């Protein structure tokens, strides 16, 4: 049976994650990611193994350094809870402006996130994303 409160919480969580990418807000990112233990992030440009690597290589070196404007738009969220863990799946559109030449960028992808409950909040411990295949 689907839990509407959990689904709403996860929709809000994914929107907060998108805001952290769009604004490169490290305090917001820190509130969403687990700070200790094994954290990982697999993406087309690399594989990060800690929150500090995620901050440096994804948020700063990729999002902040390469794009002057970012808009990550999650869609088609599916989520499942397994006690104190959760799995989220969604597709996204990413619209950006390249810092290098001001050109418009649009990519599409899919993402899965593995979360754990820590006290009363959910924290990301793993993300895997990939681009959608060309049509």
Please give, one letter per residue, the 3-state secondary structure of 31-53: HHECCCCCCEEEECCEEECCHHH
Rounded Cα–Cα distance for residues 16 and 67 (Å): 19
Query: CATH number for the domain including 14?
Result: 3.10.450.50
Mean pLDDT of the chain: 94
- As a whole number of angstroms, the distance between CA 14 and CA 9 comes to 9
pLDDT band at 135, cuts 50/70/90? low
Q: Which pLDDT tens digit goes with each residue over 117-134?
A: 998 899 999 999 998 887
The total of structural domains in the chain comes to 1
What is residue 2's predicted lDDT score, i.e. its pLDDT?
A: 64
Structural domain boundaries enclosing 9: 4-131
Under 8 Å between Cβ of 94 and 106: yes
């Amino acid at each position: 049976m689907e839990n509407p409160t959990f689904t709403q919480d996860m929709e809000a969580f994914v929107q907060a994650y998108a805001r952290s990418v769009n604004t490169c807000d490290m305090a917001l990112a820190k509130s969403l990611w687990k700070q200790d233990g094994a954290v990982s992030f697999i993406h087309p440009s690399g594989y990060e193994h800690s929150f500090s690597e995620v901050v440096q290589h994804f948020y700063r070196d990729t999002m902040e350094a390469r794009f002057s404007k970012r808009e990550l738009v999650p869609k088609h969220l599916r989520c499942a809870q397994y006690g104190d863990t959760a799995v989220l799946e969604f597709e996204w559109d990413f619209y950006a402006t390249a810092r290098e030449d001001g050109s418009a960028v649009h990519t599409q992808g899919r993402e899965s996130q593995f979360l754990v409950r820590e006290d009363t909040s959910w924290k990301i411990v793993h993300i895997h994303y990939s681009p959608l295949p060309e049509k």
